[in-house]
Amino acid sequence: RKEVEQDPGPFNVPEGATVAFNCTYSNSASQSFFWYRQDCRKEPKLLMSVYSSGNEDGRFTAQLNRASQYISLLIRDSKLSDSATYLCVVIGDGSSNTGKLIFGQGTTLQVKP
Amino acid sequence: DGGITQSPKYLFRKEGQNVTLSCEQNLNHDAMYWYRQDPGQGLRLIYYSQIVNDFQKGDIAEGYSVSREKKESFPLTVTSAQKNPTAFYLCASSTGRLTGELFFGEGSRLTVL
């Protein structure tokens, strides 16, 4: 089982739609979680951190479910400019993974007019 | 403006040749990283360095070498021992090892002919 898993998609949605991605992680001791955005053939950039209580930044909401070991990203009112690949990142904790960023393979979102 | 500069952006090499990818940052960050990205896969860590004159192997260090003689610079050499070197290489930096915010360069796309 991969340490961090995402559905690669692509998710094809119309403008204005609400879309949600999930990311599962295998190490229950993981403490820190993040979503990065990567545009086609570009470098990844931090989108938002994921806090235990959940957090929101405009149209984006990130949530953590420790019991089921997944994090989610919800995008409301999708824009064409939201089209990108969204990478889930987990900081490993314990044994050799302490402090190590582990990237999921990414979920691709295509927002259509 | 502060940031990370990678060069070259595109590189072609023949089999059996070594090639060095440059990475320079002026963010005054202590930690620097090299990742490799292949289609459909998450970023995989090649090497990282937390301070000058020190670096550690990541998950896929075989066939690669690095140096960290200056805080600002972390070049990566792809040697002829790397079996499948064609990939997108990303350099990143952060303020420290346990932070989830990485600042990436624009990447170097290496193709072996």
Rounded Cα distance between B90 and A11, Å, is 25
Given a cut of 90, whether residue A31 has pLDDT beyond it is: no
Question: pLDDT for B20-33, tens place per residue?
Answer: 999 999 999 999 99
Which ranges of B42-109 would DSSP assign to H, the alpha helix? none
Interface test with A, best of B98, B108, B111 (most A CBs within 10 A): B98
Model pLDDT, residue B109: 95
Look at A99 and B97 and tell me if their CB atoms are within 8 Å. yes
Given a cut of 80, whether residue A53 has pLDDT beyond it is: yes
Pick A103's closest partner by Cβ from B42, B97, B101.
B42
Instruction: Kindly indicate the confidence band of residue B98, based on its pLDDT and cuts at 50, 70 and 90.
Output: low
Model pLDDT, residue A96: 52
Model pLDDT, residue A71: 96
**Averaged over B47-60, what is the pLDDT?**
93
Instruction: Kindly indicate the confidence band of residue B66, based on its pLDDT and cuts at 50, 70 and 90.
Output: very high
Given a cut of 80, whether residue A33 has pLDDT beyond it is: yes
Look at A43 and B106 and tell me if their CB atoms are within 8 Å. yes
Instruction: Output the DSSP codes for A31-88.
Output: -EEEEEEE-TTS-EEEEEEE-TT-EEETTEEEEEETTTTEEEEEE-S--GGG-EEEEE
Rounded Cα distance between B96 and B99, Å, is 6
Rounded Cα distance between A32 and A67, Å, is 15
Look at B42 and A105 and tell me if their CB atoms are within 8 Å. yes
Q: Where do we find the tokens 């570009």?
A: A42
Model pLDDT, residue A76: 98
Given a cut of 90, whether residue A22 has pLDDT beyond it is: yes
Look at B43 and A46 and tell me if their CB atoms are within 8 Å. no
Instruction: Output the DSSP codes for A2-20.
Output: -SEEE----EEEETT--EE
Q: Where do we find the tokens 């937390």?
A: B50
